[in-house]
Structure 1
Amino acid sequence: MREVIAEIETWRKAGKQIALAMNVRKDGTSLRPLGAKMAMTSNMEIAGSLTGGCIEGAVYEEAQVVMREGTPRLIRYGVPDDERPWEIGLSCGSSLEVFIESLDSPAWRALYPPLKACLDENQLAAVVTVIAGEGLGNKLLVRSDGRRLGSLGSAALDADAAAWAQEQMRVQESGWREFEARQVFVDVLPPPARLIIIGAVHIAIPLVTLAKTLGFRTIVVDPRTAFATRERFPHADELLVEWTSDALKRLRLDENTYVAALSHDEKLDNPALQVALSSPARYVGVLGARKNISKRLDALREMGVTEEQLSRLQAPIGLRLGAVDAEEIALSILAAMVAAKHGALEANERRHLLQAHQ
């Protein structure tokens, strides 16, 4: 939902009719995951994507019918028949079910404001929808603290669906299942990943810009007031002019957090690395020359960082792209973070300080 919410807000304020299409079930591989969305108006305006181009045109046409008639649709797209190549289908050999509904429905009118508030506050939430069967289109908003709003049709069904949604939120996976002869989809909406940048240096400027395009919430930390200014970082979500380790302790790093230490100043980087490496942060990297790696390792050991914690440190930070200028280095850093996010940071792509210098 986050990928289309800005456009939806603009269209709603303009009084336009809006339809929302969502991937709810698939067999085989797909370019886009379950829960991927495409929002549309009746004026040929589109935001988001379901497959990368295979079926979007057909979905847009179906959405026009949904907006006119008001009834949600569940449509299956498969592989085109060789004898009927003009049919709409997926060239990747997969099948995909897409749920299309109008945002003018009673269920959406009731749930949209509180859902928008959850998104604005970066809260974990889930929306459960009946995609087939009795109560088609009914919705239940479930928050991570157990509070819920809306109904799928009965108190018992709501309780069962909410418990399932809590399980899915714990693993942050959208999915579908059957409840009482109804097909139900849970759309898990995790908060955006946080990128914490230590050092308001030149490389941090394009890193913030690129990270925003990938949906990261960006936080720049630097106690030096001459560097940490809004003029230099107008796009950063937060700009913290305070001591680096104090900021990281207060921010409570979790598995959805990525840390890039870029200051080139051990007085700023190392205390932050000490905190980050003892946390569940998904990725921790530091900028610096290879010749200085051993020295930094020794300094961190003296601060009490364990060998196991040091093995998590990526240095020099980023994937090996041959990057030279600030923008290229920022790209290499984000490439490594995306790889870490999807579990694709293979051993030969990592630069573990401990392994490289034993």
Structure 2
Amino acid sequence: MLDIAEELNAWAAGGRDFAVATVVAVSGSAPRLPGAALAVDAGGTAVGSVSGGCVEGAVYEMCRQALADGRPVLERFGYDDPDDQDGLGAGLTCGGTIDVLVVPVRAQSPDRPVLAAALAAAANGRAVALARIVAGPPALLGGTLLLDGDGTRHGGFGGHPELDRTIAAEAAAFLDAGRTGTVEAGESGARCGAPVTVLIESALPPPRMIVFGAVDFAAALVGVGKFLGFHVTVCDARPVFTTRDRFPEADEVVVDWPHRYLERTATDARTVLCVLTHDPKFDVPLLRHALGLPVAYVGAMGSRRTHLDRLERLREAGVTDRRLARLRSPIGLDLGARTPEETALSIAAEIVAARRGGGGTSLTGAHTPIHHDIPPRVASPA
């Protein structure tokens, strides 16, 4: 439910009753990952999605029913009905299976304060992990635990205290990795007792995209970066070009030498760095530092001749071949892009492929999976 936290936070703050359907497990090819949510309020307004359209109608009705009777329900959807030859029933035409948990969040719901706190934190860009029991002993169903980014716990499952501690530790690990998924434990917190399945959702501040070079390609990339959910910064040492008027969509516009700014700003394993400066006096000191950071992506614009020259300069500056292997240059996927907008799309496509483990090839005629279950690990600097 945290993936639609902004909308649900407004509903909760306004005192609305609503029901939330959350994908808790996925098998095979499915359009949405665990944590994807659809919510319906008492007036019938819906936000979010659990399947991209395949089962939304059925899930909508489940939400309405949960609001009426106050009971949560767990339902499995898949395309396995031999009598539904056209695939027009409430199933997934893609062939996968999803488990969807529907929970009413009404004024009298005992877990509403914890859920409201989670939604408020996520909507305001704070790091939180929300753990909810989705299968296990009936007395524990509906239990909710919230873990703040600083490790503070709120709520609990109402069972053995060790279960709260065990799941809080798991939630901390999920939050550190930015993951959403399920874990299993015994009802006493150990591997004994009745099994308990817990969905843990993580919400983190938006990942950073830092675009170096106040050029027309950067202006196009800022828009695509915002569309993908990044917090976008544009940095260039030339004040005449690095202005808010030229980059109105950027979250930050910074006038500074790129390498100096990168040395003093915060980055993490989700940060992407796009070097569009196309000038050795900016590129070399910037990339020398960037390739030593454990970030998700480092790409640099330029022709193949520029790339070879840049590699030689970086080697002379002491950058190892192992670090140079992390550099995406020339930046972007081969889309035949020419305009700034097409080039921005090419860069964004490469960033998504690197993030999700895609190969960047056409799906037409291919036999590779459409969805990749496990994103690749961030390369560690040598």
Q: TM-score, normalised by structure 2?
A: 0.83
Partner of 2:62: helix, strand, or coil? helix
Residue 208 of structure 1 corresponds to which residue in structure 2? 222
How many residue pairs get aligned? The number is 346
Q: How does 1:161-310 map to 2 (within 5 A)?
A: 161-176=167-182, 177-180=184-187, 181=194, 182-310=196-324
Partner of 1:166: helix, strand, or coil? helix
Tell me, yes or no, if the aligned pair for 1:128 and 1:187 is still in contact at 8 Å: yes
4+ aligned runs moved over 6 Å, structure 1: none
Alignment gaps of 5+ in structure 2: 188-193, 362-382
Q: What amino acid is the match of 1:264?
A: H
Residue 369 of structure 2 corresponds to which residue in structure 1? none
Residue 73 of structure 2 corresponds to which residue in structure 1? 73
Residue 142 (1) aligns with residue 144 (2): no
Percent of paired sites with the same residue: 39
Provide the rounded CA distance (Å) in 1 between the counterparts of 2:79 and 2:307.
Answer: 52
Residue 23 of structure 2 corresponds to which residue in structure 1? 23
Q: How does 1:25-174 map to 2 (within 5 A)?
A: 25-83=25-83, 87-104=89-106, 105-113=109-117, 115-123=119-127, 125-132=128-135, 133-154=138-159, 155-174=161-180
Deviations 1:230-257 (A, max 9, x none): 2222222222222211221222332211
Provide the rounded CA distance (Å) in 1 between the counterparts of 2:70 and 2:274.
Answer: 48
The alpha-carbon distance between structure 1 residues 272 and 47, as it changes in their structure 2 partners (threshold 3 A), is farther
Tell me, yes or no, if the aligned pair for 2:146 and 2:154 is still in contact at 8 Å: yes
Alignment gaps of 5+ in structure 1: 348-358
Residue 356 of structure 1 corresponds to which residue in structure 2? none
Q: What amino acid is the match of 2:353?
A: A
> 1:45 Cα deviation (Å)?
3.1
Q: What amino acid is the match of 1:280?
A: P
Tell me, yes or no, if the aligned pair for 1:25 and 1:175 is still in contact at 8 Å: yes
The alpha-carbon distance between structure 1 residues 339 and 80, as it changes in their structure 2 partners (threshold 3 A), is same
Partner of 2:245: helix, strand, or coil? coil
Tell me, yes or no, if the aligned pair for 1:111 and 1:149 is still in contact at 8 Å: no
> 1:171 Cα deviation (Å)?
4.0
Tell me, yes or no, if the aligned pair for 1:103 and 1:109 is still in contact at 8 Å: no
Deviations 1:232-284 (A, max 9, x none): 22222222222211221222332211110012233223222111111111111
Partner of 1:90: helix, strand, or coil? coil
Provide the rounded CA distance (Å) in 2 between the counterparts of 1:114 and 1:52.
Answer: 25
> 1:162 Cα deviation (Å)?
0.8
Tell me, yes or no, if the aligned pair for 1:22 and 1:37 is still in contact at 8 Å: yes
Tell me, yes or no, if the aligned pair for 2:114 and 2:144 is still in contact at 8 Å: no
Provide the rounded CA distance (Å) in 2 between the counterparts of 1:224 and 1:153.
Answer: 59
